[in-house]
Amino acid sequence: MSSPQPLQGVTEPSFARYREIIPVLTDSTHKGQGGRVCVLGGSSEYTGAPYFSGMSALRLGADLCHIICAEDASTAIKSYSPDLIVHPLIRTRTIEQLELMTADDDKSRAATKAVVDKIHAKAKDELNGILERVHVLVIGPGLSRDATMQRVAKYAIQKARSLFMPVVIDADGLFLIQNEPELIQGYSRAVLTPNLVEFARLCKEKKINAEEQAGEQPAAQRLSHAFGGVVVVQKGRHDIISSGTTVHAVTNTGGLKRSGGQGDLLTGMIATSLAWIVVARRSNQAGAGGEDSQAKNHVHFLAACYGACTFTRRCSQLAFEKHGRAVQSSDILAEIGPMFAGYVEQARPIAPWSEAIYG
C-alpha cells in the first residue's frame, strides 16, 4: 500500500540491526539483563493503559517492570497482574482533599502548601530510587492531565535526562510536552509516539504544517528536527519514524479493529527494545562506542522503534485473524510471546523484515 503522498528519503533499517540488540538467554543470565522498564502513568480514570504498556514490555522480554501511579489507581493495577511492581507514590487524592479542606486565608494556604511540598519531596525521593535502577522510562499511559500527575511526570523526565536514560512519551505525556517542549528539546534519547490528533498539536506548537506535501520532507522528520533530534514515531496508516535526518516507514499490515490500548502495547515494546540497547552497550555489545556515541547515532534507536511498530502491527493482525471484530488489546498482548519466538528468534540473522515476521 502507498501513502497519500510519496514520502521523501524513506529507508528501512535492516533486521540484522535489530537482532544485534536482542539479548541472548543463557543459564548465566541474571535478572535485569533482559531490561528493566519503568512506566509512569495510571490515574483513577485510567488504570488499563499502564497495565498494557507494562505487560507488553514484559511479554517482549523485559525482566522487570515498575509502574509508578496515583495512589487510588494502584489497587486496580495490582489486581491485573502480580508480574508488575506497582508504586502508588503519586498522592493525587491526598493533595486534592488537603486543598478542599484548606480555609480561604493566607495562613491556611501556606500551611497546606508546606504539606503538599513535603508530599512531592517524598515522591521525588522514591522516584529517584526507582529510576536509578531501571534502563528506560515510559511517560504517559493513563497519566491524565491532573496537575499533580503532570508535575511528577515533569520531574521524572528531568531526572531521566540527568541519568541519560531513554524516555518514551505517549498520551497525556505528550500534553505535557506540548505545553513545555523545553523538557525534551534537543534530547536525542527521547521518543515521542503521537497519534493523529497528538501529532497535529505538537506540529502546531512547533509551527509546522502537519499535512504531507509532495516534494517536502515528511512532517515527522520536520517535527523531529524542530525538537532538536528527538525520535518521532508518528502512528497512523503507516507508522513514520524519524530522528530528523533519517526516515523509516512501517507498512506491514495490522488488524482492522482499533481497540483501546494498542498504543500502550507499542510504548511497552519500544521501551523493552530500547532497554536492550542500554544493556547491550553497557556490556559493550551492539557495535562499538559508548553512551556518547549512542546520543549522536540513532541507528539502533530507530531500529528498535521500527521493530516495535512492526511487531505491534503483526500481533494485531494475528489477533484479528482469530477474533475479528471482537478483538481486544488483551488478545493482541497474548500474541507477543508466540510471535517473537516463532518468527523473530527463528529468522535468519540477515533475513529481511518480511521473513522475520511472517516466516
Q: The domain containing residue 67 runs over which residues?
A: 15-23+32-358
Is residue 10 assigned to a domain? Answer: no
pTM of the model: 0.93
Whichever domain contains 165, its CATH number is 3.40.1190.20
Is residue 8 assigned to a domain? Answer: no
- Cα separation, 248 vs 269, in Å, equals 17
Q: Is the dihedral of CA 307, 312, 313, 318 positive or negative?
A: positive
pLDDT digits over 46-57, tens only? 999 999 999 999
pLDDT digits over 294-344, tens only? 444 579 999 999 999 999 999 999 999 999 999 999 999 999 999 999 999
Flag whether 198 is marked binding: yes
pLDDT of residue 284: 64
Flag whether 197 is marked binding: yes
Flag whether 258 is marked binding: yes
Is residue 5 assigned to a domain? Answer: no
Is residue 1 assigned to a domain? Answer: no
pLDDT of residue 215: 64
In the structure grid, which three cell numbers stand for residue 131, read together?
Answer: 529510576
Flag whether 192 is marked binding: no
Is residue 161 assigned to a domain? Answer: yes
In the structure grid, which three cell numbers stand for residue 180, read together?
Answer: 513545555
* Confidence category of residue 8, pLDDT binned at 50, 70, 90: low
Flag whether 199 is marked binding: yes
Is residue 9 assigned to a domain? Answer: no
Q: What is the DSSP letter of 72?
A: G
Q: Which of 271, 252, 272, 248 is nearest to 315 (CA)?
A: 252
In the structure grid, which three cell numbers stand for residue 153, read together?
Answer: 511526570
Q: Is the dihedral of CA 105, 108, 112, 115 positive or negative?
A: positive
Flag whether 259 is marked binding: yes
Is residue 77 assigned to a domain? Answer: yes
Q: What is the DSSP letter of 210?
A: -
Q: pLDDT over 70 for what percent of the chain?
A: 93
Flag whether 256 is marked binding: yes
Q: Give the total number of structural domains in the chain.
A: 1
Mean predicted confidence (pLDDT) in 81-94: 91
Residue 329, SS3 per DSSP:
helix
The average confidence (pLDDT) of the chain is: 90
pLDDT of residue 119: 79
Flag whether 260 is marked binding: yes
pLDDT digits over 134-177, tens only? 999 999 999 999 999 999 999 999 999 999 999 999 999 999 99
Is residue 74 assigned to a domain? Answer: yes
